[in-house]
Amino acid sequence: MNPLDLIEILKNHTVYIQTHNFPDPDAIASAFGLQQFLAYHGIEATLCYDGKIDRLSAKKMLETFGIVMHSKNDLWDMKEDDLIVLVDSQKLNSNVTDLIGDEVACIDHHPIFFSYDYQYRDIRPVGSCSCIIASYYQETNTPLSPKCAAALSYGIKMDTADFTRGATALDAEMLAFLFPFADWNLVSNMYSNTMEFDDLRAYGAAIQNIQLFDRTGFAYIPFNCAQALIAIISDFILSLDVIDVAVIYARQTDGIRFSVRSEQKKVHAGNLIAQVLHTYGSGGGHPSMAGGMIPSANFPLLGEDMHVTIQNAFLDVITEMEQEK
Ligand SMILES: [Mn+2]
């Protein structure tokens, strides 16, 4: 689609750009990049999300690049005929709250689980949503600020884990396109002081109760911890030489949150968690990274020993997947 079509759709409306809940660097960069793009073309947009900006890295990103995002609770004046552009997320997915405005557009790089009839839809299987937004600048010769180019570069680097996870040619081309415009000091700055002291507790818990079944590792964090931290710990556990599939789950106030990683070709992390949690909750994601949730109300379904139930459910599906030719 031509990104300028989006301008036509949004003209003369109140516009919101919404990310998935608990936005990560790619979601924040994409939202910011799109906001700046629209601003150049005369459209003002407010960035919004539900959940929390609960990670040091996300907070630091807002400060470093001068980004303002509003949480759902501040959006009391959103109306039904206000327009929403979803970035790095899709309507009807469990990780994005359905706000009152009208979702007329979607720019994303996740697989489609529920199709929805957007007026503007740009969903491509690339490594980051940030590279799609960067391509809008290139295609339309829209000027790019050093901060914006830096934020989008950081988004691409983070979501592709520095080109080691799901990266595509477009991710690489767009990083090359952004580089001469970007204030690279801002990108470098994002890589220092990234860990909070409290994170160590969660790492400690995961390390202490990690269990290994063949090449699948399970670790449980028995207390509330930030969604993004669970994902980071899951990357950390996957980096062990003896583990190809990592399943990390943490007890939260509203349920159990999961993060799954796979470097086993036959085990699609998104399909794995979707299949396993189907009975207990919901989940989904990419071939190598995915997330999900079991709401507290469904805990009785897990029986006497929830760990055994969870482990067996995952191991059964993993075995099935590995046996497929
Ligand atoms: Mn993303």
Tens of each residue's pLDDT in the chain, 325 residues: 799 999 999 999 999 999 998 899 999 999 999 999 999 999 999 999 998 887 788 889 999 999 999 999 898 899 999 999 999 999 988 788 999 999 999 999 998 888 899 999 999 999 999 999 999 999 999 999 999 999 999 999 999 999 998 999 999 999 999 999 999 999 999 999 888 888 999 999 999 999 999 999 999 999 998 888 899 999 999 999 999 999 999 999 999 999 999 999 999 999 999 999 999 999 998 899 999 999 999 999 999 999 999 999 999 999 999 998 7
145 sits in the region (left: phi over 0; alpha: psi -120 to 50; else beta) called: beta
CA of 145 to the centre of ligand 1 (A): 22
Inter-residue contact 129 to 108 (CB < 8 Å): yes
Residue 267 CA, ligand 1 centroid: distance in Å? 20
CA of 214 to the centre of ligand 1 (A): 30
pTM here is 0.82
Distance 28 CA to ligand 1 centre (A): 9
What is the rounded CA–CA span in Å between residue 135 and residue 178? Answer: 10
Q: What top-level class would CATH report for the domain 199-323?
A: alpha beta
Ligand 1 mean position to 300 CA, how many Å?
Answer: 33
270 CA from centroid of ligand 1 (Å): 14
Please report, for residues 46, 47, 90, 93, 284, the alpha-carbon distance to residue 114 in angstroms, rounded to integers and kept in the order given.
26, 24, 8, 7, 12
Ligand 1 center from residue 27 Cα (angstroms): 6
Residues 6 or more apart whose Cβ sits within 8 Å of residue 325: none
Is CATH 3.90.1640.10 the classification given to domain 3-189?
yes
For residue 45, the CA-to-ligand 1 centroid distance in Å is 20
CA of 172 to the centre of ligand 1 (A): 15
What distance in angstroms lies between residue 238's CA and the mean position of ligand 1's atoms? 19
Cα-to-centroid distance, 23 and ligand 1 (Å) = 9
Parse the chain into domains and list their residue ranges: 3-189, 199-323
The pLDDT of residue 194 is 82
pLDDT given at position 124: 96
Cα 107 to Cα 87: distance, rounded to the nearest angstrom: 5
Rounded to whole angstroms, the Cα distance separating 123 from 140 reads 18
Which pLDDT value is given to residue 55?
76
